[in-house]
Amino acid sequence: MDRKKEIIKDVLIGVGFAVMIVLFVITYVNYREVQIASKVYVNYVPESITVNGGSANDFVTAVDNARKSVVEINATLSTGTSAGSGVIYASDGSVTYIVTNFHVIENATSFKVILYDGTTIDDVQLVGGDEKQDIAVLLVKGTYTTVSVRQVAGDNAIKLGETVFAIGNPLGQLGGSVTKGIISCLNREIKVQNEVMNLMQTDVAINSGNSGGGLFDINGNLIGIVNAKVSATGVEGIAFAISIDNATSIADELIETHTHSATTFEVTSVGYIAGRTELGFEASYTALVSGFFVSDTGLFVTSCDTELQAYASGLRQYDKIVSILKGGVETQMNSNDVYLDFISELKVGDKITLNIVRNSTNYSIDITVNQKIYQI
């Protein structure tokens, strides 16, 4: 089999501001596919910004306070640059932590943060990132204005229809932009790149570059981290945010599990989310194309990390995974759903055997499931 045969992936990744539409498109700094119900929900922005007796001046004050905690993030990639947003979340008096989306920092080699007043910070470090919940934390030296947080659940729960506003860096060029709308749904189940997420839905205007920015209530309290927007012909006003309850839960664990020098404040080990699994490869059920013809279909390895065990054990890109053995039970990999269901049940420390085919020869690859720790 020609090793250079093209694999047509189920998920296409756009870089920068390229446009991709598959069913619906989730608009990120890095684009991702979104799958939701086919219904289109229409919501209307209230004509007045007066809420619960609040005035226009109150709203302006809330925006002014909130904007001081929102930053622009510029990331350097091996292939160029990307841009997003972040929120100054916490400070311990020596360093400050900024929450953003994982997809904003993914594959970046370095970062630059721009504060609301135009101050640029070049010494920015990664504390940790969690791809599953799309949250990452950055660290900068010094103390900066942190955000006021309002938990979504509990006695002070967010209500359907509440007026909210977003502050971010749309198009990666318009830092500090403010847009306003309402909460359209409190808990929408969305499938993003094979990960199911429960997100708040809003009709606030969101664009590429807003990812990682804040969604605030009418009083300027942070209630969510903006991370997605549905783009399709005839669809308007469907955007999503990770609730602050979920975002801070992940951010807090990343902060707690990282370490940094008490003198130089350099990150010495990145944080992680306990129990997240790492196989060392990515795979997708797809088709091999030779010329104009499909020559084979199956679960193919689309990438393999050369630094991890799977590669050391002999797994290579383009290998076809026929079945996986775990605990004496062999599961045939005859669809993407079967594969995704299988790996979703894996635990750190599990031992599995991949039965693969390469150039018409069968091989067995033994792998131990590792703790996933995102590194740059």
Report the amino acid identity of residue 3: R
Report the amino acid identity of residue 205: A
Point out the residues that are catalytic: 103, 134, 211
Write 342-346 long-range contacts (CB < 8 A, 24+). 343/277, 343/279, 346/277, 346/279
- Using CA atoms, how far apart are residues 218 and 59, in angstroms rounded to an integer? 6
- Using CA atoms, how far apart are residues 168 and 117, in angstroms rounded to an integer? 14
Pull the structure tokens for residue 28: 């990120």
3-state DSSP assignment of residue 150: coil
CA nearest neighbour of 29 among 87, 75, 97, 88: 75
3-state DSSP assignment of residue 337: helix
- Using CA atoms, how far apart are residues 42 and 163, in angstroms rounded to an integer? 16
Distances (CA, A) of 211 to 42, 88, 92: 22, 14, 25
Which residues have a Cβ under 8 Å from the Cβ of 123 and sit 6 or more positions away? 140, 141
Beta bridge partners of 136: 100, 129
Residue 307's Cβ-count burial label (10 Å; 0-12, 13-18, 19+) is exposed
Pull the structure tokens for residue 240: 């999503």
